[in-house]
Structure formats: structure tokens, C-alpha cells
Amino acid sequence: MSDKHDWQRMEKIVSLCKRRGFIFQSSEIYGGLNGLWDYGPLGVELKRNLKNYWWRVMVHERDDVVGMDGAILMNRAVWRASGHEDTFSDPMVDCRTCKVRVRADQVIEKKGVQQCPNCGGKDLTEPRAFNLMFKTYVGATEDEPSVTYLRPETAQSIFVQFKNIFEVSRKKLPFGIAQIGKAFRNEINPRNFTFRSREFEQMELEYFCRAEEGMKLLDYWLAERLKFYENIGIPREKLHARQVPDKERAFYSKGTYDIEYDFPFGQQELEGVAYRTDYDLLQHQKASGKSLEYFDEETKRKFIPHVVEPSAGVDRTVLALICQAYAEDKALDEKGKMETRVVLRFHPRIAPVKCAVFPLLKNKESLVTKAKEIVDVLRPNMTVFYDESGAIGRRYRRQDEIGTPFGVTVDFETLGEKDRALRDTVTLRDRDSMKQERIAIQDLSAILRERIR
């Protein structure tokens, strides 16, 4: 386990995120609201690319998974049956000296005496459960019968729609339902930038199976999910599959792994992969009185399916992608002097902007026209940024800093002014190696599409 903390690196990342429009504090002009974040123009593209790739590999490329999109508000009975209303809480302790409320596991113990981690005070209350769900009212009256909660996970709408979806999909076990959506938790100590937020997105799959397949599928999904992170540019050596010990695991789970990543602030969870047995469906069957059983055509038996759940956080993965991509290296400036270059080395698949297009000079109309034609050709297939202002080196640097993997420059060779053989070719610059190759415009779209897939 790595406990290296690189706060300086983290500060640079947070500041880059704001400066270049990845992530802003929510309600910033009013002083913000703790644990809540807004994604700017680049952040939203990055997030969308991540979610689209997850959907592609988890739903579109499989025969055994379908998707759904459930409501954020659900009948309160759901949260009673799932156990969230009674048990989705953190034990909290109040310090009577400085009035701070902290999680019980953060209280410091010195020589057997419990102390407040904020002021060192010893006058603490007993731990009390603090429910993490946001309460709200549905309808015109704010009374007890109209209470419900913002969902703290997307999984429950999958469980309660299991029967409907199963029937319309005409699938056999094993079979999964996937969902991406918002979840809300009134976290006591939101921290580490977006890592622990109060509003976040989850990408969850509930993979239903027979009891005897559960443990094997747990290992299968762990391997699939590790492969996923590698395919978006997170190297295997920065990922850790931690087997959650019995005492930390939910009582109904027969096996759980946490997939953790080496963030600059330490090794922390990205995703949980849990074998939840038949607990969830059983709870909802009992509470609703509606059968959630599966009829096995082969054995003519009826039973409640078991479930393996890979549950990932969109925002945490976005943060991991940014932390992983952030690099500083050396590059020559326009005057031939070495300077420090800030670069986000995103995998082309998830980079917010795929390709930047530059006319060498902005006041030469034929260069500008050609560059704009190239933008029009590329745009139906990828996000493209057109930039004609400033020295070309500076334009490259601006794109490096937001992680654009490819830069296309339209120069005098493109116009065939120097060498007719080079007419209608452009330079294609690679962000990481900074090397340039000469490519025919007619091949450009296919080459780039292949590299960003």
C-alpha cells in the first residue's frame, strides 16, 4: 500500500482544472457549497468520453447486458427495504470544545484517551448515527407521508425494475442491467477535490446469475474492470485490487474487491466489485410482496437470482484520469530556449479535444480556408479545436495543457507552393513525442479515427 502524498502535485492539478475549464467550485460567486462541483467545457467532454466508453464496453459490445435510466427520486419503501433508511449512516462524534462534528473513526486516541482531531479537546459526545441520505418531500405538503430521499446509489432502481427489464429483454441468466446516473450523499467530510463529493455520478452494473456462479463471476468482473482502467490509460501498476476483509464487508456479501488507485493524496477506492448474493432482490420481494423470481426453463425451478455488482464512480475516475495524465517535461520555446511544458497525457480515447487544427499564419487567406475545410471534414467524427492566434509553438503548448493528442498544421507545403508533391498534405503532431509526420489530407480522418477509437 502506497502512502506517499504529493500535495504540491495535487495543488497544481486543482489549479489547472480551474484555469483551463475542467472543474469549478459549484456556486463559486456565492462562496461555493462544500462537496459540490461543476464541470466546465473540457471537464464535461472528458466525463462524457469516459461514460460513453464504459457504456460501449459494458452494454453495446455485450449480448448479456442491457441498459436503463431510472428516476433519482423513488418511493420511500425502496430505501426502507434496501436497508438505507436504517443503516446508511456514519457514526459521528461532536466535540463540545470546538463544536466540530467528525466521523468516529477519525477521533484520535492518545494513551487510551479520545481526542478531537480538530482542537485536541477531550470532551466528546458518544458516537451517533448520521444518515447520509438527503431527505426531501414529494408533493405540496412537507409532512411525514411525503418524505423520500435523493438516491444514494443507482443500484436500487435496477433491482426494483429487474422483473420488468428481464421480461422485455427475453434474456437468460447470467444477465446484467447497467445504469449511469447521479447519486447523492450528505458526506460529513467532503475532501480531496472531487474525490468525496455530495453529488456524484455512478456507473453501475448489476449482473444477475445463479448462486453457484457468484464467486467465479466476482473474479471475472474484477479482471474485466481492471482491463477497463488500463484501456483508458491508467497503468496496471497504479491500480490495486484490495480484497475487502470479512469484518469490513457488508454482511450479505460473500466477496468484495475494492479497485484502488494511487492518487497524489494516497491509495484510494475507484470502484467496488461485490458479490451481493440474493440479498437485494430478496429484500424487495419481501417488502413489495411481488415475486422477483426467475424461472429456469432447463431445470423448471424458480429462484431469486444472485448478483455481482461492479460499481464505479464517474467523478473519481475523471479525477484519476487527470492525476494520471498530468506531467511536466521540457520543450523548446519559439526562441529555441528550453522551457517547462505542462501536458495532460490523456489516452486519445478519452481526451476532451481530439485534434487541433492550425493555419500557420492567420493573415494568409488560403491557409485559413484550407484549415477550416479540414475542420469541417473532421468534425462529424471527433471534437476539433480551431486556433489561428499566436505563434504556432504557443498554440501547441495550449493544446498540450488540455491534453489534445493531435495537432494538424496547414502550411505553405499544403498549398503546394514549395513542392507540388506535398500539395494537400499537412503535418500531424503527436502531443507526447512532439514528433511530426506528413499526412495527405484525404487520409487524415481515417488515421485519426483509428487512433482515438
Chain contacts with ligand GAP (rule: CB under 6 A): 153, 155, 185, 187, 196-197, 200, 202, 204, 269-272, 309, 311-313, 315-316
The DSSP symbol for 364 reads: -
**CB closer to ligand GAP, 201 vs 413:** 201
Residue least distant from ligand GAP (Cβ)? 313
CB burial of 224-259 (b: ≥16 within 10 Å; e: otherwise) equals ebbebbeebbbeeebbbbeebeeeeeeeebbbbbbb
Q: Give the residue from 315, 306, 305, 345 showing the smallest Cα distance to 431.
A: 345
* Min dist. Cβ of residue 50 to ligand GAP (A): 12
Q: What's the angle, vertex CA 100, arms to CA 96 and CA 104, rounded to 5? A: 90
* Min dist. Cβ of residue 292 to ligand GAP (A): 18
* Min dist. Cβ of residue 286 to ligand GAP (A): 19
**CB closer to ligand GAP, 319 vs 344:** 319
**CB closer to ligand GAP, 152 vs 359:** 152
**CB closer to ligand GAP, 157 vs 404:** 157
Strand locations in 18-64 (E): 23-25, 37-39
Half-sphere exposure of 413 (CA within 13 A, CB side): 12
* Min dist. Cβ of residue 205 to ligand GAP (A): 10
**CB closer to ligand GAP, 71 vs 168:** 71
Quote the CA–CA distance of 127 and 95 in Å, as a whole number.
11
* Min dist. Cβ of residue 409 to ligand GAP (A): 40
* Min dist. Cβ of residue 189 to ligand GAP (A): 10
**CB closer to ligand GAP, 217 vs 312:** 312
Question: In this structure, are residues 206 and 158 in contact, taking their beta carbons and an 8 Å threshold?
Answer: yes
Q: Which amino acid is at 104?
A: A
Q: Which amino acid is at 174?
A: P
**CB closer to ligand GAP, 244 vs 382:** 244
CB burial of 161-179 (b: ≥16 within 10 Å; e: otherwise) equals ebbeebeeeebebbbbbbb
* Min dist. Cβ of residue 204 to ligand GAP (A): 6
